[in-house]
Amino acid sequence: MALPRLINFIIAGTAALIGAQALAQSAARVDAKRLLNADAERGQWMSHSRTYNEQYFSPLDKINDKNIDKLGLAWFVDLPTNQNIESAPLMIDGVLYQTLPWSKVMALDAKTGKQLWLYDPKVPGAWNINICCGVDNRGAAAWNGKIIYGTLDGRLIALNAKTGVPVWSTKATPDDRRYSITGAPRIANGKVFIGEAGGEFDARGYLDAYDAETGKFLWRFWTVPGDPALGFENKTMEMAAATWKTPGWWKSGGGGTVWDAITYDPATDLVIFGTGNGTPGDAVKRDAGGGDNLFVTSIVAVHAKDGSYAWHYQTTPWETWDYDTGQQLMLLDIEINGKMRHVVSQASKNGFFYHLDAATGQLLSAKPYTDVNWATGVNLEDGRPFVVPEARTNLTNKVFNLTPGPAGGHAWQSMSYSPLTKLVYIPATTHWQLVGPFDARQKYLAEHPDTKQSFTGRLTAWDPVAQREVWRSEEFVNPAGGVQVTSGALATGGNLVFHGNLPKQEFTAYRATDGKRLWSFGTKTAVLAGSISYEVDGEQYVAVAVGGPVPGGYYAPNGARLLVFKLGGKQVLPDLPMFTEKPIAPPPQFANADVIKQGAQVFEERCQLCHGRNGAARSTFPDLRRAPALQNQALFDSIVMQGILTEKGMGSFKDYLKEGDTVALRAYLISIAEAALAQAPNPGPGAR
């Protein structure tokens, strides 16, 4: 061999060896090219919805409607939590990355389930007072060897994907208001896009961008204007301020948080996101003048390079029913009115399925996909809904049985689109709830005991072109109450849609074309999160993280596990351990009706959001009807006012309650415990 050729051979061989060693020492080597071409890597799941179009579709087809009966459990891993699981994993180059409650993250071998690392950011338990709806996390993003995600206490953290060791951490929420982060970030062209939660409290919403390599702050787009006396950040905020008619909105924050839905559109280089409810939630209290309140409950687009405003569409002007637009925003190329359009689509919480032109925000179509009675339709000329006057109970001071109720027709659970069937699969709900003055509602219920108060869920197959339902699954009803009954949906190239539920504790596969139920697996716990499908060494897998309300409630092991299936899988899922739930055993009532009524109002304002209607939360927070602290006012006050359980997540409410509130609150909880006892006997030990 000639010397130059030998030298070249040695150099090439050395470079190849160095490259192989570097690859072996790294993980999640995700860059802009891989994300843009994610559809070409069929076996990977490198971002929240697999591809930038947020369609939540896997083209893998080795598991299909012809062999689904052979699908079995390949392996499972117990997850270190007894809280609800609301995130699906990423799968990159043979490794699964799963986020967990309390902002923990774990990495596992995607073929065997072997744990590679677990990271705990040590979120203070006291932070739970700043969180509306549970200590959840809905996912992570990957970039250049890093797993990037947000924490409940407002940090954005990048972990070394190989080791789980932090690479950088930055505070992504201001300290002056009650913010948290529960949603998944998105990444494009080296920028991390992240929002925040807190609209139930005093948040002023925004979308941020950070440098994915360093965590350096790049830009912020505020979703509502601040105090005019301090000057507006830009012309867009000045424009938005004109839609707030009553001065002082900035004192309570305004709301409009970007708590979940974020989509990057490579075709337009826009970041499109949905905003939350206004703060306060009652439109009259927020803005008695009746302004639209931009950009509350809106779908907004900004330029990815600098965060400058591009367009917006407000689904519900002067919103008052908690109809935020934090639901998934999906990019589709479909025919509308005989013309191909590039659209952003949403099954919004208010019950309407929207198509907007992705480049301009023009409203193209809006039709109800579930029961809707607060509006009779949407005006396509100006985009405004035709609101039923009786639905604005803050103006009529009367009762209205609203649907969708505040839980919405579709929440954070992922919907899916199959390019094969051309259908969108929506985890849809029908929710009826009385709204109006507190006293009037109690009187109405007493006089109309058969009033609809139901919450049911289903998987709906929706034709996005014709804007009509094609098929629906069986209905899921949670007999214990609560507002989560369905999971996210996953469509695959095998003509399948995977979907789970809470009441029946099942993970199910339906035939995508006609909805025929083909397969199910008993998960022994609720299924809330969406699933993913991936491929390792030529074999297709389906993975879903499960865990939610079970008999025994907050204190019981809830069967939180990562379940991974393959054709021919033979693993058997063990039963949950026996658990005896605390009994409902209230002390004698000590208060009169007026005090109990005061306690009911305090509970609705300060406690119901977390502990559920009638205090009967089943997993995320304790069932207060069973609380030992009901026996003793001093113990009750030490928890509620002094915060002795702060590190367990129950912080002090001394800044939010006035004298006498805790006495009234305890009296009310005793009354609902007595009512529960009268309605049904306590379950015996070993309810499982």
Q: Please report the beta strands in 321-451, taking only residues with DSSP state E, as ranges in sequence order.
A: 330-336, 339-347, 352-357, 363-368, 375-378, 385-387, 400-402, 416-418, 423-431, 433-435
Which pLDDT does position 655 carry in this prediction?
Answer: 84
Pick from 322, 314, 190, 335: nearest CA to 264: 190
Which pLDDT does position 493 carry in this prediction?
Answer: 98
- Mean pLDDT score, 384-412: 96
pLDDT band at 55; cut points 50, 70, 90: very high
**Least confident residue range of 71-75, 163-167, 299-303, 660-664:** 660-664
In whole angstroms, what is the distance from residue 193 CA to residue 97 CA?
19
Two tokens at 463?
A: 């034709």
Portions of the chain given CATH number 1.10.760.10 = 593-679
Which pLDDT does position 680 carry in this prediction?
Answer: 64
Q: What is the pLDDT of residues 410-429, one digit of tens each?
A: 999 999 999 999 999 999 99
Pairing type for strands 155-160 and 561-567 reads unpaired
Q: What is the pLDDT of residues 517-558, one digit of tens each?
A: 999 999 999 999 999 999 999 999 999 999 998 877 778 889
Give the number of other Cβ atoms within 10 Å of residue 446's Cβ.
8
C-alpha dist (Å) from residue 212 to 49, 121, 152, 328, 469 = 19, 19, 19, 23, 41
Instruction: Check whether 683 has a pLDDT greater than 60.
Output: no
Q: Which residues pair with 193 in a beta bridge?
A: 186, 209
Average pLDDT, the chain: 92
Instruction: Check whether 170 has a pLDDT greater than 60.
Output: yes
Which pLDDT does position 686 carry in this prediction?
Answer: 40
pLDDT band at 647; cut points 50, 70, 90: confident
Instruction: Check whether 23 has a pLDDT greater than 50.
Output: no
Which pLDDT does position 521 carry in this prediction?
Answer: 98
Q: What is the pLDDT of residues 451-476, one digit of tens each?
A: 988 889 999 999 999 999 999 999 99
> How is domain 593-679 classified at the CATH fold level?
Cytochrome Bc1 Complex; Chain D, domain 2 (1.10.760)
Amino acid at 33: K
Please, are residues 50 and 100 in contact by the beta-carbon 8 Å criterion? no
Portions of the chain given CATH number 2.140.10.10 = 47-120+412-579, 187-394
Pairing type for strands 141-143 and 115-119 reads unpaired
pLDDT band at 480; cut points 50, 70, 90: low
Which pLDDT does position 482 carry in this prediction?
Answer: 62
The length of the chain is 688
- Mean pLDDT score, 358-368: 98
**322, 324, 623, 661: which one is catalytic?**
322
Which span out of 82-96, 130-144, 443-457, 467-481 was modeled with the highest average pLDDT? 82-96
In whole angstroms, what is the distance from residue 389 CA to residue 399 CA?
12
Q: What is the pLDDT of residues 618-638, one digit of tens each?
A: 567 888 999 898 999 999 989
Instruction: Check whether 376 has a pLDDT greater than 90.
Output: yes
In whole angstroms, what is the distance from residue 237 CA to residue 219 CA?
15
Which pLDDT does position 4 carry in this prediction?
Answer: 39
Instruction: Check whether 24 has a pLDDT greater than 70.
Output: no
pTM (predicted TM-score) = 0.91
Share of the chain above pLDDT 70, in %: 94
Give the number of other Cβ atoms within 10 Å of residue 69's Cβ.
11
Which pLDDT does position 613 carry in this prediction?
Answer: 72
- Classify domain 47-120+412-579 at the CATH superfamily level: Quinoprotein alcohol dehydrogenase-like superfamily (2.140.10.10)
Which pLDDT does position 25 carry in this prediction?
Answer: 53
Which pLDDT does position 455 carry in this prediction?
Answer: 87
- Per the annotation, the verdict on 202 as an active-site residue is no
Instruction: Check whether 9 has a pLDDT greater than 80.
Output: no
**CATH architecture group of domain 187-394:** 8 Propeller (2.140)
Which pLDDT does position 268 carry in this prediction?
Answer: 98
Instruction: Check whether 17 has a pLDDT greater than 60.
Output: no
